[in-house]
Amino acid sequence: MKKRSIVFYTFFVLFLLLSCGLMLGCGAKDSGNIEEKPTVSPPSFKMSSEYPNGGGIIFLATPDKDVTLTKIVVSLPAGLPYTIPGNNNDVFPANQTIKLFYYYGEPFPKLGGEWTFQFSGNLSPTATNKGFTVTETVNGSASAPEPTPRQ
């Protein structure tokens, strides 16, 4: 009789523990539905260039989304990287052109070949946790027409 009571109590305790575990494990917080967060695609930049009267190349970048920029790394055709710092505070609106200068407002040197622009920043206005790094490539022309001098 004692042996039967011990077996019965053992199964009863196991049943209670399993029942409590199932009840606690399947609470309202974990209903089995996993909420998927929407994915946000990074911006793209439409690239173009202009050739100012003083010579050189000014590159123009037009984002397709509102962005803030932390930096732009420009790789010149000669392979030399140049970093344009950003402050991550200025919002560049979608479809508004950003002029990229080389050094203190000076145009980039007029070099033909492949230019690579690596844009790093955040989507705006919710700049937190929406970081991106996007690379765009442009073929610059060293044979762009020289401006005609003023007379």
pLDDT exceeds 50 at position 60: yes
pLDDT tens digits, 76-93? 988 889 999 988 788 999
Yes or no: say if 144 and 110 are a contact pair by the CB < 8 Å rule.
yes
- Check residue 47 and give its pLDDT: 95
pLDDT at residue number 89: 82
Per-residue pLDDT reduced to its tens digit, 105-136: 888 888 888 999 999 999 986 645 688 999 99
Query: How far is the C-alpha of 86 from the C-alpha of 21, rounded, in Å?
Result: 53
**Predicted structure pTM score:** 0.67
pLDDT in tens, 130-145: 889 999 999 877 665 5
User: What SS3 class is residue 67?
Assistant: strand
Pick the CATH number of 46-140 from 2.60.40, 1.10.1060, 3.30.70, 1.20.144: 2.60.40
Terminal-residue alpha carbon distance, the chain: 120
Question: What does the domain layout of the chain look like in residue ranges?
Answer: 46-140
Question: pLDDT value at position 105?
Answer: 82
- Residue 120 identity: S
